[in-house]
A and B are shown apart, each in its own frame.
Chain A
Amino acid sequence: MDKFISLQGIAAPLPIVNIDTDMIIPKQFLKTIKRTGLGVSLFYEMRYDNDGKLINDFVLNTSPYDQSKILIAGDNFGCGSSREHAPWSLKDFGIRCIISTSFADIFYNNCFQNGILPIVVSAKQLDELMAAASNQQEFQIDLPDQKITVGDISINFDIEEHRKDRLLQGLDDIGITLGYQEDIAVYEEEQKIKKPWLFQNK
C-alpha cells in the first residue's frame, strides 16, 4: 500500500451533506475487475451531463481544483454501499485526504486500505476550512504531527494509533495477520470441539 506522510496543496470544497457512494462512483463503473482507472468516472453524474460532456461549474472540473489532492465535504461522507470502488476512484483522481465532520464506517475503513487519510473535524472547523478551500489557499496536512495548517488556521486531528502507523509505513494488513496463523489455528481447533456444527461438511 502507498504510504501517507504529508500532503500539500489546494483543497476542493464540496459543501454537500450525505455524499453517498453512488454519487462518488455510480453503479455502471462497478463492473470493472480492476482497482485502477476509475478516476475519470469519479462523481460521474455531477461531473458530466447526459451527453457525457464536462459540467463546467462542478468544482473538480474547474482549475485549479481539477488538480486537488484534498477534498472538503459535508457531514456523513461516504454513506451507502461498501463498494471500495469509491476510495479507488478518489485515489485514481488524485485525492489522498478527505476532511469532513463525519464518515460512514465502511467507507472510513476502506480509505485506510488504500492510503487515503480521512480526517474528522468539528462543524465550526469545517466551515473555516471550506472558506479557505474556496479561497484557493494552500493546505498542509501533516500525519506524524496530526495537524492541518492553512493560512492562520491550525487544527490538530485525532487518528487511531494503529491506523496512523499503517499509513505512515504503508503496511500490508494481510501480511501482518498471517503472522498470527498459529493463533488462528488454535482458535479453530477449540471451536471444532465447542461448536462442531460450524465445521460440518454439507
Chain B
Amino acid sequence: MSNQGPKTLFDKIWSEHLVRQREDGTNLLYIDRHLVHEVTSPQAFEGLKIANRPVHRPDATVAVADHNVPTINRQNIEDPQSKIQVETLAQNTKQHGIQYFDLMDQRQGIVHIIGPEQGITQPGMTIVCGDSHTSTHGAFGALAFGIGTSEVEHVLATQTIVQNPAKNMRIAVNGELPFGVNSKDLILYIIGKIGTAGGTGHVIEYAGSSVQGLSVEGRMTICNMSIEAGARAGLISPDQKTFDYIKGRPYAPSAKHWDQAVEYWSSLPSDKEANYDHEIIINSTEIDPMVTWGTSPEDVVSVKGLVPSPDSAKNENKKKSIERSLEYMGLQPGTKITDIKLDKIFIGSCTNGRIEDLRKVASIVKDKKIASHVQAMIVPGSGLVKKQAEEEGLDSILVNAGFEWREAGCSMCLGMNPDQLKPEERCASTSNRNFEGRQGRGGRTHLMSPELAAASAITGAIADIRDFK
C-alpha cells in the first residue's frame, strides 16, 4: 500500500493505526477499542494470569455478558456452566479495572448493539472483539473485526494485533430501494450474489445511493453480515447521519474535542480515484425481499421464488450441498417460499435487534394476532432498546399481538441460553446464520428481515410484506 495517491477508507484507517512492522514482516496494528464478552474471553484472561501479564489499557476495554444470558429470569442463571462463565467475566473485569455492564444494568445488551448505543463506536477507530459480528461497527466507518481468543489475549496484553492488510472490495448499490426492500434484503442479496466465501481476504466497503440513504441502524445490519459474505470487516463512509447518531452519547467525544473529532472523521471517506481490488455494482431494482431456504446464508432467494432443485447446481459439489440442505430443512424442490409453514418467529440479534427493527415489527402487527400455531418471541438488543420500546408503547402492541417480550441478549440467534428450536421446528428469524443446528439441534432457520418475519408471524407461513395488508 503506497502512502501517496488516492486512498480508500480502509487504507486511511490502516495507515493511521500502523505502529510498525515486526521483524518477521508482519504489521502491528493499534487497537482503539476492545469489546469483551463472556464466551471468548475466559481463556484469554487465564493466559494473562499464567504469564503474569497486566491488561495494557483497561480504559479502552468494555465488557458485557450477552451470549449465555437468560431472557426471562435475570436473577438466576440456571445452567451452572453459563453461570460460571458470566461470573468469571465479572471477576476478570473487576480484577483488571475494566468497565463491565452487569446483567441488572440497563446498559447490558448484545455487545454489538451497546457499542454504538453508548457512543463507544466512532469513525476511524479500530475495534475488535472475540466475535465475528464485530463487523457491525463498520457502519460508522470504523475498522472492526472479529478475532479468536488467542488474539483477545494479545490485544489485552499489548493493545495491538498482528495483521496484514486486507484487500479492498467495493460494493455499490445504486437507486432508491423498492417498496418492501430494506437493509436486510440488501445484504442477503449481496451474500447470495458473491457467496459465503466471496469476501474472503477482503474488507467490503458498501457505497452507492441506496446505502447512503439508509439510517445508521440500517447500515449496521449490512455491515453486521459482512462475515457471512466471508469478509472480516464491512465499512461505510461516515457522514452527517453518523455524526448526529454519535453526538451526546455517553462515550462520545466530549464537547471540548467534538469539532476536532468531526473534522478528522470528515477526512475519512474514500478518495474518488481510490483503487479497489474488486468492484461490484448493483441496481436496487434487482432486489426483492429475500429469504434463505437452506443452511448457508448464500442459500437465498426472493420471497416470490421457489425452493431450488439440486439439478440446477453448476457442479457436483454444489449439487450435493443443495441435497444435504434440502434434507436438513425438510423441503422439496419447487416449493413456493410463501407456502412454507412456520412454527416459531424470532426477532432480535445483533443484526436486527435495534429500536428501528422493533418499531417496524410493531407497525406491522399492530391490532393483529399472530397465527395460532406459531410461537413468536422478540428479544430487544439491549436493556436501553427495551426501555425505549416500552416508553413508546411498542411492548404492549407486540404482547397484544401474541409476542413474548423478553430481556436483552443474543438469545435464539445461537441458542446458548435456553431459547432454542426443537428438532424439525421451523423458524423465521431476523438473525444472521441458518447453519445446521445453529438455533437448536435439528432446528430449521429461514433468515429474513424484521418486516417479513412480522408479516409471517401473522400469516403463520413465510409472507411477502408487499402482499400484506
Q: Which residues of A contact B (CB under 8 A)?
A: 15-18, 20, 22-23, 26-28, 30-35, 45, 50, 74-76, 79-84, 87, 102, 104-106, 109-110, 113-114, 160-162, 165-166, 173-174, 176-178, 180-181, 183-184, 187-188, 191, 195-202
Inter-chain contact B317/A75, CB cutoff 8 Å? yes
Chain A residue contacts of B176, Cβ below 8 A = none
> Which chain A residue shows the least CB distance to B51?
A174
* Contacts A106-B147, A197-B257 given; does A184 touch B19 at CB 8 Å: yes
Q: In the complex, how many angstroms separate the beta carbon of B105 from the nearest chain A beta carbon?
A: 15
Tell me which of B283-291, B304-312, B362-370, B432-440 binds A. B432-440
Interface of chain B residues 45 through 97 with chain A (CB within 8 A): 46-47, 51, 53, 56, 59, 67-68, 79, 81-82, 84-85, 88
Interface of chain B residues 403 through 427 with chain A (CB within 8 A): 414-416, 423
Central interface residue in A109, A174, A199, by most chain B CB within 10 Å:
A174
> Which chain A residue shows the least CB distance to B296?
A18
Chain B residue contacts of A74, Cβ below 8 A = 317
Chain B residue contacts of A173, Cβ below 8 A = 150, 154, 162
Inter-chain contact A177/B162, CB cutoff 8 Å? yes
Choose one: A28, A106, A160; the contact of B148 (CB below 8 Å): A106
The CA of A118 and the CA of B250, in the complex, are separated in Å by 43
Inter-chain contact B40/A76, CB cutoff 8 Å? no
Q: How many residues of B contact A (CB 8 A)?
A: 81
Chain A residue contacts of B125, Cβ below 8 A = 198
Q: 11 A–B contact pairs at CB < 8 A?
A: A15-B320, A30-B39, A30-B67, A31-B79, A31-B81, A35-B149, A79-B230, A177-B28, A183-B19, A196-B260, A200-B253
The CA of A73 and the CA of B42, in the complex, are separated in Å by 30
Inter-chain contact A31/B68, CB cutoff 8 Å? yes
Inter-chain contact B146/A202, CB cutoff 8 Å? no
Central interface residue in B46, B68, B160, B423, by most chain A CB within 10 Å:
B160
The CA of A40 and the CA of B40, in the complex, are separated in Å by 20
> Which chain A residue shows the least CB distance to B157?
A174
> Which chain A residue shows the least CB distance to B317?
A17
Chain A residue contacts of B122, Cβ below 8 A = 197
> Known pairs A162-B24, A162-B26, A197-B261. 19 more at Cβ < 8 A?
A18-B197, A27-B414, A31-B85, A35-B43, A45-B437, A50-B442, A76-B230, A81-B131, A82-B146, A102-B197, A104-B200, A105-B201, A106-B132, A162-B22, A166-B24, A174-B53, A183-B28, A184-B30, A199-B59
Choose one: A18, A104, A196, A202; the contact of B251 (CB below 8 Å): A202
Chain B residue contacts of A45, Cβ below 8 A = 436-437, 441
Chain A residue contacts of B84, Cβ below 8 A = 31, 33
The CA of A173 and the CA of B383, in the complex, are separated in Å by 38
The CA of A188 and the CA of B243, in the complex, are separated in Å by 25
Chain B residue contacts of A33, Cβ below 8 A = 42-43, 46, 84-85, 88
Inter-chain contact B158/A184, CB cutoff 8 Å? yes
The CA of A24 and the CA of B22, in the complex, are separated in Å by 33
Q: Which residues of B contact A (CB under 8 A)?
A: 19-20, 22, 24-26, 28, 30, 32, 39-40, 42-43, 46-47, 51, 53, 56, 59, 67-68, 79, 81-82, 84-85, 88, 99, 122, 124-125, 130-132, 146-151, 153-154, 157-160, 162, 164, 196-197, 200-201, 227, 230, 232, 250-251, 253-254, 257-258, 260-261, 264, 296, 317-318, 320-321, 324, 414-416, 423, 433, 435-438, 441-442
The CA of A84 and the CA of B154, in the complex, are separated in Å by 14
Inter-chain contact B154/A174, CB cutoff 8 Å? yes
> Which chain B residue shows the least CB distance to A108?
B200
The CA of A162 and the CA of B162, in the complex, are separated in Å by 11
Chain A residue contacts of B232, Cβ below 8 A = 105-106
The CA of A74 and the CA of B196, in the complex, are separated in Å by 13
The CA of A18 and the CA of B131, in the complex, are separated in Å by 19
Chain B residue contacts of A162, Cβ below 8 A = 22, 24-26
Inter-chain contact B148/A105, CB cutoff 8 Å? no
Chain A residue contacts of B200, Cβ below 8 A = 76, 102, 104-105
Q: In the complex, how many angstroms separate the beta carbon of A126 from the nearest chain B beta carbon?
A: 10
> Which chain A residue shows the least CB distance to B416?
A27
> Which chain A residue shows the least CB distance to B43?
A35
Inter-chain contact A184/B159, CB cutoff 8 Å? yes
> Which chain B residue shows the least CB distance to A105?
B232
Chain A residue contacts of B26, Cβ below 8 A = 162
Inter-chain contact A105/B59, CB cutoff 8 Å? no
* Contacts A22-B435, A195-B264, A197-B260 given; does A50 touch B441 at CB 8 Å: yes
Chain B residue contacts of A174, Cβ below 8 A = 47, 51, 53, 153-154, 157-158
Q: In the complex, how many angstroms separate the beta carbon of B104 from the nearest chain A beta carbon?
A: 20
Inter-chain contact B157/A80, CB cutoff 8 Å? no
Q: In the complex, how many angstroms separate the beta carbon of A43 from the nearest chain B beta carbon?
A: 11
> Which chain B residue shows the least CB distance to A36?
B43
The CA of A32 and the CA of B84, in the complex, are separated in Å by 9
Choose one: A81, A176, A197; the contact of B254 (CB below 8 Å): A197
Chain B residue contacts of A18, Cβ below 8 A = 196-197, 296, 321
Inter-chain contact A50/B423, CB cutoff 8 Å? yes
Inter-chain contact B196/A109, CB cutoff 8 Å? no
| CB-based closest 4 A-B pairs | A197-B253, A113-B150, A33-B42, A31-B81
Chain B residue contacts of A202, Cβ below 8 A = 99, 250-251
Inter-chain contact A113/B416, CB cutoff 8 Å? no
* Contacts A18-B196, A31-B68, A109-B148 given; does A187 touch B19 at CB 8 Å: yes
Inter-chain contact A180/B433, CB cutoff 8 Å? no
Inter-chain contact A80/B28, CB cutoff 8 Å? no
Inter-chain contact B415/A27, CB cutoff 8 Å? yes
Inter-chain contact B437/A176, CB cutoff 8 Å? no
The CA of A184 and the CA of B162, in the complex, are separated in Å by 13
The CA of A147 and the CA of B196, in the complex, are separated in Å by 29
Chain A residue contacts of B130, Cβ below 8 A = 82, 84
